[in-house]
Amino acid sequence: MATKRYTFRLYSTKTQENKLLEARRYHAYLYNACIAHRNFEWKANKKTVTYLEQQNCLPAFKKDWVDFAYLHSQALQATVKRVDLAYNSFFQGLRGKPKFKLVRNYSGWTYPALSGWKVNSDGLHGTVTLNDLGITLRMRGQAKSWGVPTTLTIVYKPSQKQWFASFTVDVPTAETKSGAHSGLRYESIVAFDLGTETALTLYDGERFEELSNPRFTQKSETLVKQASKALRRKRAPNRTKKVKASRRWKKNRKLVSQLQRKVSNQRKDWQHKVTSEIASRYDIGVTEQLNTKAMTRKAKKGSKCKKQKAGLNKSILSVGFGAINTMIAYKIEQKGGVTLMLPTKKIKPSQRCPHCGAVHKEWAELSNRHHVCTDCGFEVPRDRGSVMVMYNVALNQQPGLGTSLVDCRCPSSTDSTKKRKHTGSMKQLGQMKRQKSCSLVDGNPVRLATG
């Protein structure tokens, strides 16, 4: 059983949308009220308010603020939980202190369990009913595999003025065909790497396949550039000078965001098409662990190749480096295959000669497009060389690397090697029962924000 997230676009009538906007407003109020509560308690009593304390305030809160009473209680709890999650990651130093949120930018709310909503869909379009608002919305979208929907999050995107329903769905998965380190099926193994000249290089032991960077991103990019240039020439809003945005500026900004959205949609579409096609052909994928963040870091100050690095960053980001890698990985796994993430530092695919295994430090230079081995005379283009090395390593036939996969502790992407700091999750909601006694400290400080 795997948990997947699928998002559908919602279509509402005017009255339905007003109801949705109202519910969103109340959830935003509650979110801000919870933050105010925590701020107040900390300033006044140096006390850290817990999730449970805030959750226990909810029934009394609803009694005082009757407007809230019709909203689903678990959805309200989930909003309180959002504050708790934000504070938890703040306490762990993962993010800044939670701030009040503008109602007009507030994203939405969550139904953390099965009650309060009902979905009528088999993965393609359908409807969703929100009991607390008393509305049934049409939705459009397609899920690749469908199962039992477990939670629902209603999302509003203010810039697009669009509503979405995001479900987590329990989907039955295929059994893994082979273990991570045993019984590799050689005939359907592919090594893939992300290059800069070619977006993606694949090698399956016999032939190479090279996918080039899609042209449309560059094409749309010029359009975005033109539109943003025009935007800069219009009167932008300025709060300190009390200047309002001109109508032309607003119109132009809308155009810019539309174009940007189009580019990102095109990119996503291309990535999904390409990766699905690859994943459908192979059972085992081999790639290296990439650190895109480090790769796209700005050039060092005073560095000569500043422009070059900026251009490289752009081409890395335009393909969506990390995304495409993980997409192939999860899509192969989804159909029961396995993806091996080779440790880059240990194997050095881009510096190693696929033929004799000698490591050439000078190959690491990105300007070095064509590699000629000084030890054995083997010639190979840079991107092809590294996929060959990875392919060989996966089959345990790479010269110069005596280690087998097990020895070099090669993690498959299914292993939970990434240790994330745990900040809790919505799942806890169902497990925590509300305590009977409801204590309001200092006469309802929750009122502070809404009052």
Evaluated on CA atoms 24, 26, 27, 32, the torsion sign reads: positive
- Helices 14-45 + 51-64 axis angle, to 10: 120
Q: Which stretch binds Zn ion (CB under 5 A): 115-123, 229-237, 296-304, 353-361?
A: 353-361
Q: Are strands 379-381 and 284-288 parallel, antiparallel or unpaired?
A: unpaired
> In angstroms, what is the minimal distance from the CB of 388 to Zn ion?
11
CB 167 within 8 A of CB 151: yes
Q: Vertex 435, ends 430 and 439: CA angle to 5°?
A: 130
**Selection from 260, 386, 273 nearest residue 327 by Cα:** 273
Q: Which stretch binds Zn ion (CB under 5 A): 113-121, 212-220, 301-309, 350-358?
A: 350-358
DSSP letters along 218-280, please? HHHHHHHHHHHHHHHTS---BTTTTBPPPHHHHHHHHHHHHHHHHHHHHHHHHHHHHHHHHHH
Please select the residue that binds Zn ion; options are 243, 305, 356, 432, rule is CB under 5 A: 356
Pull the structure tokens for residue 44. Answer: 């006044």
> In angstroms, what is the minimal distance from the CB of 354 to Zn ion?
8
Please select the residue that binds Zn ion; options are 373, 394, 405, 446, rule is CB under 5 A: 373
Q: Is 355 in the site for Zn ion (CB under 5 A)?
A: yes
Site for Zn ion in 164-183 (CB under 5 A): none
> In angstroms, what is the minimal distance from the CB of 330 to Zn ion?
34
Q: Is 375 in the site for Zn ion (CB under 5 A)?
A: yes
Q: Is 378 in the site for Zn ion (CB under 5 A)?
A: yes
Pull the structure tokens for residue 213. Answer: 């960077």
For Zn ion, how many residues bind (rule: CB under 5 A)?
A: 8
* Beta carbon nearer to Zn ion, 330 or 378: 378
Rg (CA), the chain: 27
Q: Which stretch binds Zn ion (CB under 5 A): 50-58, 266-274, 374-382, 401-409?
A: 374-382
Q: Which stretch binds Zn ion (CB under 5 A): 205-213, 298-306, 355-363, 411-419?
A: 355-363
> In angstroms, what is the minimal distance from the CB of 351 to Zn ion?
11
Q: Which stretch binds Zn ion (CB under 5 A): 8-16, 38-46, 349-357, 416-424?
A: 349-357
Please select the residue that binds Zn ion; options are 376, 404, 425, 427, rule is CB under 5 A: 376
> In angstroms, what is the minimal distance from the CB of 371 to Zn ion?
9
In 172-231, the DSSP E strands lie at 189-193, 200-203, 208-211
For the chain, what percentages of helix, strand and coil (3-state, to nearest 5) are there?
40, 20, 40
> In angstroms, what is the minimal distance from the CB of 338 to Zn ion?
29
Footprint of Zn ion on this chain (CB under 5 A)? 353, 355-356, 358, 373, 375-376, 378
